[in-house]
Amino acid sequence: MIGAMSASEKTQDLRARLERLEQGVTRLADGPDRASLVEGVQALRETVERLESVERAERHQLGHDLRVTRPAWTPCTGRWRSSTGTSAPSPG
């Protein structure tokens, strides 16, 4: 069931299906229909790869954004450090 799959599992499933499709296309007889299908499958593969690249970049940026905005606990001083680098008393 695709709905219960994680994003990683969905990506693996998509890639496996795409590979089977590519293998099936290679077994077809040469002709204009096959050429059109090959072109469509290649375009689909490129789209999937671009989508994965964009998702990786977004996750990477999100990691940077989370590190910048979250307060950092400095155990040696018992203080919270703000994103500006100044120390503030412990909350609570």
Q: pLDDT, tens digit, for every residue of 34-91?
A: 999 999 999 999 998 998 889 889 888 888 777 766 555 556 665 655 555 555 555 5
pLDDT value at residue 40: 93
Of 22, 49, 17, nearest in space to 38 by CA: 22
12, 48 contact by CB (below 8 A): no
Residue 22 vs residue 2, higher pLDDT: 22
pLDDT value at residue 86: 53
Tokens describing residue 25: 């296309």
Tokens describing residue 90: 């412990």
